[in-house]
Each structure stands twice: as C-alpha cells, then as structure tokens.
C-alpha cells in the first residue's frame, strides 16, 4: 500500500489534479479563460482514470485525495477575497471544507471510471460530478454554489445550455465534453458543441421582439473607505448615492440603487427618509433602495421601492410588491450558524449579522415594470430569479454590496453569475453595486456598460422587457435533480461492484 502512495504514477496523478484545479480557476472571471474549465476537468478525469496497458487505477482513498487537491487548488486561487478583511483563517477554513466535500467526486469518480464500460463511464462521471455539485450548492446552511463549473463558461459556447437546464446542465455538459475527449469519444463533444451553436443562433443571437423598452439607471455612489467598517459610515454612503443620483443628465423610468445604499432605516430615521425622498423627487423616477428594516420577526435586508412625492412613514403602509426581503441570506455574513462554536476560531464571528430571511418570489413593481430582484448572494441560488420570472418578471436586478471585499475578484465573479442568469432566463440584468463593479447585461449575456471598482458613477441604458419562459425557468430544478440521481446511481453501482471484487479477492 505504501509503495502505491509513493509511486511515480500517483505523483503524476497528483500533479494532474493540481494542474486541473488551477485550470478550472482560470476559467472564472476576471481571467475568463473558459477553455480552462474543460482542460481542468479533463486533467481530473485523467488523474482518476485507469492507466497503462494493465489499466491500473488509483484506490478509492487516492481518489479522495486527488479530488481534494483539485478543489483545494481551485478554491485557494479563486476565493482569497473571503479573507480580505477578516484574515486567513475563515478563507482557508472555507477552502479546506469545500475540498473535503468535493473529494466525493474522486471517490465515485475512481469507481465509475474503473467499473463502468468506457462508452458509458464518461457520462456517469459527468453525472456524478453534477450530483456532488448539487450537494455542495445545497448543504449545509444552504450550501455554497459559488464554485460551480458553469460560472466559468459564461463566455464560451456551452453557456447556451443554461437556457435548457440552467447552470447545473452547463456544468454537466462541461464535464461530459472533457471526459468524452479523454475517452476518445470524439463524437460526443462534436454533437454537444454543434448543438450549443444551434441553441446560440436560435435563442441567443436571434432574440425575440421585446414587449416594450424601459430606460434604467444604475447608481454606484461608492463608499468613503474600504473594509468592514464602511457600515459605520452609513450616512456618508447614503449621501453618496443621493449625490450621484442628482447627477443624472437625462430622464429615466426607474433607478436601481445597490444593496446597503441606505443602511440607515428610513422608517426609523427621518433624516435618511428625507434624503431618499429628495433623490426621488429630483429624479422624478422611482428608486429601488437597499436598506435595513425591522419588523416583528427581526432585522431584514430590504430592497425598497420609493416613488416620487412618497412619504416614508411606516413599512406596513406599503404594498407587498413594493419591497423585497432578502430570502437567501449569506451564512457567516448575514447570519451566523453555530456562533459559539465558530467564535473559538475567529474574533470576526460576532461581526456577522442576525438577519431574518424573507419569503415570496422576488417580484416587485417599480414604475409599472415587473422587476425580479436577487440581492447580492441570492444570484447564486437558482430559484431566486426563476421564481421571479415565473411570477412575471420582465427585467432583473442584482443590487449588491461588495465594498467589504476590497479590490478582490469577488465582484467580477458575481457579475459572471448575473450574466449566466441573463442567458438562462432571457432577461436583461441590471447590476448596481455600492463600490463596483456595476454593469448592464443584455439577455444574451453581453455586458454593454461596466464601472470600475471604487468610483462614483452612473450607468443609463434603454433595455428590453421580455416575458418569454425558458425551459430552464420551468424545468431547471428537475434537470438538476435528474442529473444528480443518475450520478448517484452510477456511483452507488460502481462502488458496489468495487466492493464485491475486493471481497472476492480477499476470499481467494
């Protein structure tokens, strides 16, 4: 056993897995080398597959380690922004936790590639990868879907599959193409890439006629300084957004402010309410304001529609479609699971919020426009925008606050997610960030305007309103569930055969 762990072959497998993790990292923004995602998964498949004329395969334990190394390298390069202002412990803890979780890819992957006939093995491996991605994106505490393969494919041809089955299908297809090439099943990648071209031409490059158009402004007011303490400067942040809104040079139909643009509750602070009302009155357009409200349940991360000449007195006076309580809260940020336990590892635990999640479908009405809202972290959750679109949203908005992550890549990675959602759901998306990067995204995923980080500026554009319902909006969850079940069956059957063979060898 020791010789197998110290062998040259296993060392080469480790190098392939590590290189694969780095290649997958390169597919994410701001690098955006989408081919890196295919190369990375291909290298992982090579590391896990049988080699040589004797078709020697790694052990199940080695498969766990290979997938662990693959994911650890990927996340270490992808997620350093997590520790930008809270230190290395939370950042490294998250990377190691994700790598341990993702090591299941190696456990099932080794068994599938060794026990299933080659013409089916690559399909089973892709389905098993999708199953593990689903688990990581769902559990615990709502999961962490930030590291899905699909986000790195937003600039590539496989992004077109998001309209069929969402990011889960894009990730599955990515692995399928990569593993198919390794298995020398060239016909599979050829068919997949050809179909993606057809989908792109039919759905994305030839957009349907919009219902009508609306002129939208995204306001990036900026923050006084970097770091977690930007919240202590709440009035300055609000004043920045009021001041920047006043600089609009043309009439607009609706205005989108970022998450936390008014971290002062306007229903409890008359000065904050006055500033917001002044901004809407001057612009003569409704503003979607990111604020904090409190009700009988507790504190809420709220996106609030404020109309011109509207007096903000009591939240209960507003119509239900005039505000959105953030439904999918960020664990370890907006709420803290197991607070006493994690306090042992980091003093920043007590800076995590205690917000309460909302309910509903994310649809609000602003200036007569049915707008789907996914606040910051919500954009990684499939149901956030899908529910809004199925409820009638004709335009989407991602108000976000990325100021606590400095000049890191977080904001660019999140922008890629909004772009994928635009393709998936055939909607324009308006990203309004406190400190950047804000952007305007068309239904084909193209960014027409984008701000720099930590600048005060406005984006104004006329965008189409659409009511198409894509297959992904209607059936995306079922597609993901089916892929996960297929992958689980492949892995379970392969592991059963593996154990049966091991038992027979031991009894001889």
400 lies in the same domain as 429:
yes
Give every strand in the sheet of 447-450, ordered side by side. Answer: 363-366, 369-373, 395-400, 429-433, 439-441, 447-450
Query: Which residue is catalytic, options 95, 133, 259, 466?
Result: 259
User: In 447-460, which positions are buried (b, 16+ CB within 10 angstroms) versus exposed (e)?
Assistant: beeebebbebbbbb
Examine the pLDDT at 149 and tell me if it is beyond 70: yes
Tell me whether residue 376 is one of the annotated catalytic residues.
Answer: yes
In this structure, the answer to whether residues 346 and 486 fall within a common structural domain is no
Answer yes or no: do 401 and 485 share one domain: no
The share of the chain scoring above pLDDT 90, in percent, equals 76
State whether 187 and 222 are in the same domain: no
**298 in the same domain as 179:** no
> Does the structure show a pLDDT above 80 at 304?
yes
Contacts of range 227-236, beta carbons closer than 8 Å, 24 or more positions apart: 227/85, 227/403, 227/404, 227/406, 228/85, 228/86, 228/348, 228/351, 228/404, 230/403, 230/404, 231/260, 231/263, 234/262, 234/263, 234/264, 235/264, 235/271, 235/272
| 181 — pLDDT class (breaks 50, 70, 90) | confident
Co-location of 224 and 362 in the same domain: yes
Do 138 and 183 belong to one domain? yes
pLDDT of 53 strictly over 80: no
What is the reported pLDDT for 217?
98
pLDDT digits (tens, 9 = 90+) for 335-366: 888 888 878 777 777 778 899 999 999 999 99
**C-alpha pair distances (Å), 67 with each of 52, 147, 176, 240, 419:** 21, 14, 17, 46, 28
Residue 205 to residue 16: CA distance in whole angstroms? 37
pLDDT for residue 228 is more than 60:
no
Residues 159 and 235 occupy one common structural domain: no
What is the pTM assigned to this prediction? Answer: 0.94
Q: Which domain holds residue 100?
A: 2-205+474-507
The pLDDT tens digits of the residues spanning 440-462 come to 999 999 999 999 999 999 999 99
- DSSP letters, 401-434, are --GGGTTSSHHHHHHHHHHHHHHHHT--EEEEES
| DSSP state for residue 331 in the 8-state scheme | B
Spot the catalytic one: 133, 326, 327, 424. 326
Same domain flag for 134 and 10: yes
Angle 355-358-364 from CA coordinates, rounded to 5°? 125
Give yes or no for residue 413 having a pLDDT over 90.
Answer: yes
Q: 408 and 276 in one domain?
A: yes
Query: Which CATH number is 409's domain given?
Result: 3.60.110.10
Are 465 and 394 within 8 A, CB to CB? yes
141 shares its domain with 89:
yes
Catalytic residue among 133, 327, 334, 376: 376
Same domain, 20 and 101: yes
Provide the number of structural domains found in the chain. 2
């Amino acid at each position: 056993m020791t010789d197998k762990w110290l062998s040259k072959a296993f060392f080469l497998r480790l190098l392939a897995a590590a290189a694969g993790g780095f290649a997958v990292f390169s597919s994410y923004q701001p690098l955006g080398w989408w081919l890196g995602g295919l190369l990375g998964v291909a290298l992982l498949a090579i590391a896990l597959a049988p080699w040589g004329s004797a078709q020697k395969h790694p052990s199940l334990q080695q498969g766990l380690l290979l997938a662990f190394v693959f994911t650890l390298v990927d996340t270490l390069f992808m997620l350093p922004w997590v520790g930008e202002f809270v230190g290395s412990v939370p950042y490294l803890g998250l990377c190691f936790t994700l790598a341990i979780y993702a090591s299941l890819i190696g456990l099932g992957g080794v068994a599938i590639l060794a026990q299933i006939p080659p013409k089916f093995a690559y399909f089973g491996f892709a389905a098993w990868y999708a199953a593990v991605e689903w688990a990581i994106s769902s559990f615990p505490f709502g999961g962490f879907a930030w590291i899905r393969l699909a986000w790195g494919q937003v600039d590539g041809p496989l992004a077109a599959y998001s309209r069929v089955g969402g990011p889960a299908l894009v990730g599955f297809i990515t692995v399928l193409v990569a593993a198919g090439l390794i298995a020398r099943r060239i016909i599979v990648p050829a068919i997949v890439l050809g179909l993606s071209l057809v989908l792109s031409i039919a759905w994305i490059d030839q957009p349907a006629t919009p219902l009508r158009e609306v002129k939208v402004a995204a306001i990036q007011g900026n923050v006084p300084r970097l770091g977690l303490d930007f919240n202590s400067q709440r009035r300055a942040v609000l004043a920045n957004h009021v001041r920047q809104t006043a600089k609009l040079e043309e009439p607009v139909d609706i205005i989108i402010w970022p998450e936390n643009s008014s971290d002062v509750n306007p229903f409890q602070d008359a000065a904050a309410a006055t500033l917001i009302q002044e901004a809407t009155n001057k612009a003569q357009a409704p503003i979607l304001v990111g604020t904090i409200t409190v009700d009988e349940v507790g504190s809420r991360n709220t996106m609030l529609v404020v109309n011109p000449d509207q007096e903000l007195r009591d939240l209960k006076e507003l119509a239900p479609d005039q505000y959105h309580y953030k439904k999918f809260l960020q664990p370890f940020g907006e709420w803290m699971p197991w607070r006493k336990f994690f306090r042992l590892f980091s003093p920043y635990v007590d800076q995590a919020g205690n917000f309460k999640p909302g309910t509903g479908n994310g649809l609000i009405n602003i200036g007569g426009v049915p707008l789907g809202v996914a606040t910051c972290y919500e954009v990684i959750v499939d149901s956030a925008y899908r529910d809004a679109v199925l409820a009638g949203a004709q335009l989407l908005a991602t108000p976000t606050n990325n100021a606590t992550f400095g000049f890191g890549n977080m904001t660019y990675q999140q922008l890629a997610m909004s772009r994928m959602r635009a393709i998936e759901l055939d909607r324009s998306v308006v990203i309004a960030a406190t400190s950047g990067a804000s952007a305007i995204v068309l239904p084909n995923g193209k960014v027409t305007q984008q701000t720099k980080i930590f600048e005060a500026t406005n984006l104004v554009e006329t965008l189409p309103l659409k009511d198409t319902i894509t297959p992904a909006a209607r059936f995306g969850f079922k597609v993901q569930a089916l892929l996960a079940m297929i992958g689980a069956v492949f892995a379970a059957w392969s592991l059963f055969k593996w154990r049966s063979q091991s038992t027979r060898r031991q009894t001889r």
